[in-house]
Amino acid sequence: MNYFIIKKQKKTNVKFLLPLFIFILFTCCDSFVDVDLPQSQLTKDAVFQSSATANAAVTDIYSRMRDQGILTGTSLGLSNSLGNYADEFQCYALPTDSSMPFFTNSLLSSNSNIANYWNTSYNYIYASNAVIEGLENSSHLNKAEKEGLKGEALFIRALMHFYLINLFGSVPYVTSTDFTVNNTVKKNSPEFNYDLLLKDLEEAAVLLPQEYRNSERTRPNKYGVLALLARAYLYNRNWEEASNTVSAVLNQNSLYQLESQLTNVFLKKSKETIWQFQPLRIGKNTDEAATFIFTSGPPPLVSLTADFIDSLETGDLRRTNWIKGITGQGQTWYHAYKYRLNNAGTESLEYSVVLRLAEQYLIRAEARAQQGDLIGAKEDLNKIRSRAGLNNTSAISKEQILKAVAKERRKELFSEYGHRFFDLKRTGEISNILILTKPGWNAYDVMFPIPQNELNVNPNLLPQNEGY
C-alpha cells in the first residue's frame, strides 16, 4: 500500500486506517498484544481513551516490524538480504529465490522485496505519526503516559527513516497522516533528513524514562533511543556527539554489561541487550535461527563466505561460539550461530536483538579515534577483543586504529541488520572491497532503486536513483 498517495475518494477514511488495521491484528496470538477493543469503537479517539489500548497501538507496530520489512529475521529481512548484497554470505538458493538478486547485485526497480522495504517502512512511519497525533488530541491519558508513548513513536519514526536514508539516499521524511500533505510529499537530501532524524531522537530521549516498561527490554527506554542516536551521529560524522552519547549509555552499569560468555549474548535475559523483539508466541524463538541454521550441505539458503571465515584471527572465540561448520560431500560450510534455537519449546529463550552494547563500544572507539583520542579508542576496541579471547590491538596510529575498528565491526556484527554493508558504504570503501569479490558489483549499487510503482503514482519522487 502506498502511504504517500491515497485515492481521493478514500480521503475521508484516512484517519480510520491505522486503528482499524491495529485492532484487526489484536485478535492474533501475538504476545505483544493483549488488549482487544470492541468493533463498535474502531476510531482513533477510542484508541487513546485508555492506557491499555494506547499501549497496544504502539506494541502492535513493534510486532509488525518484527514480522515484516527491514528488521524481520526471516530471509526477507536486511540481515539476510544485505549479507548477500555485500560479502558476508555465499548464496545457494534457487535462481528464483528472493535472495538471489541481492547476491548477484542485480536489483531492479520492480523487485518485490525492495518494494516491501519501502512500503512497510512508511507503513510503520504512518502508524507512528497516527500515534503522535492521537496522543496530542487525547485528554484521557496522563502526562507521563503521553510522553512515554510519544517518545516511542518518535523512536520508531526515526528508526525507519534511518534505514530508508541509508538504503535509498534521498527520501521523504514523513511526519503527518494528513492526505493533503502526503499527496505531494517530495524527497529530501540525506543531510536534511538526518537533521530531522536527529531532532526526533533527541526529543524522544527527553520524553522516555530511564526504566524499561518490562524486564524483557522489548520496549525501548531512554538508553535505547540514545543507542540509536549514537549510531546516527556516527553515520553523520558527528564524532563528539557520538562519543558523548555512547558514554551516557555505557555509564549505566546497573542496566548494561558486556556478557563475558559469548553464548549468553543473544539470550533473552542478556545484560548486553539494549532493545529486542519478543517472539510471536510463547515457546517460539527467533526467525534468525530458522533463516541461517542448516544441518546438511549444500546449504538451502546461505553460508558464511570463506573470506569472512578467513578474516577471523586464530583463537577468536566468536569463531567457535557464533559460527558452526557443517561437513558433507568432502566440503565444509559455515553458518551464523549467534541464535542457536531453531525449534519451538515450552519457553522462548532467545529474542531478536536489535540494539546491543558491543556496538556502542565500537561506535565510541571509532568516534574517539576520529577526534584523536587514540588511547580511549584502543580501550574501547580492546573491550570487544578481550571478550572474544584476543590480545589487545597492535594498532598505533589513527589510521591503523580506524582500520582495526572496521575489522572488529565486521567480526562482531556479522549477520546483524546489514552492518557490514552500511559500514563499507559510509566509509567510502564499498566499491574498493566488493568489486574484488562480487562480479556483479557496480558503483551505483550503493543505493537501492526506488520502487517503480512508487514513482508511477508519485512523480514527486523522481528522479530514480542512478543506474536504475
Task: Compute φ and ψ for 392, nearest 5 degrees.
Answer: -60, 150
Task: Report the alpha-carbon distance of residue 125 to residue 105 in Å, rounded.
Answer: 28
Q: Which three cell numbers stand for residue 357?
A: 552494547
Q: Which of 27-31, 76-80, 410-414, 417-421 has the lowest mean pLDDT?
A: 27-31
Kindly state the average pLDDT of the residues 99-127.
97
Its pTM stands at: 0.92
Contact 219, 351 (CB under 8 A): no
The band of 184, judged by pLDDT with boundaries at 50, 70 and 90, is confident
% of the chain at pLDDT higher than 70: 91
Kindly state the average pLDDT of the residues 168-181.
92
Residues 6 or more apart whose CB falls under 8 angstroms from that of 116 comprise 68, 69, 76
**What is the DSSP code (8-state) at residue 374?**
H
| pLDDT attached to residue 298 | 96
Query: What domains are there in the chain, each with its CATH number?
Result: 8-208+428-458 (1.25.40.390), 287-336 (no CATH)
Kindly state the average pLDDT of the residues 231-235.
98
pLDDT tens by residue, 44-58: 678 998 999 999 999
Q: Which long-range contacts (CB under 8 A, 24 or more apart) does 435-444 make?
A: 437/87, 437/305, 437/307, 438/87, 438/105, 440/104, 440/105, 440/106, 441/105, 442/105, 442/467, 444/468
| pLDDT attached to residue 189 | 98
| pLDDT attached to residue 22 | 44
Q: Angle CA(305)–CA(311)–CA(316) in degrees, nearest 5?
A: 115
Kindly state the average pLDDT of the residues 437-464.
95
Q: Over the range 100-133, which residues count as b (16 or more CB within 10 Å of their CB) and which as e?
A: ebbbbbebebebebbbbbbbbbbbbbbbbbbbbb
Task: Report the alpha-carbon distance of residue 233 to residue 239 in Å, rounded.
Answer: 7
Kindly state the average pLDDT of the residues 139-148.
95
Residue 176 — left, alpha, or beta (φ > 0 → left; ψ -120 to 50 → alpha)?
beta
Q: Which three cell numbers stand for residue 35?
A: 488488549
The band of 404, judged by pLDDT with boundaries at 50, 70 and 90, is very high
Kindly state the average pLDDT of the residues 349-374.
98
| pLDDT attached to residue 30 | 52
The band of 182, judged by pLDDT with boundaries at 50, 70 and 90, is confident
The band of 43, judged by pLDDT with boundaries at 50, 70 and 90, is low
Q: Which three cell numbers stand for residue 147?
A: 510522553
Of 383, 366, 364, 368, whose CA–CA distance to 247 is shortest? 364
Of 138, 219, 171, 249, whose CA–CA distance to 4 is shortest? 171
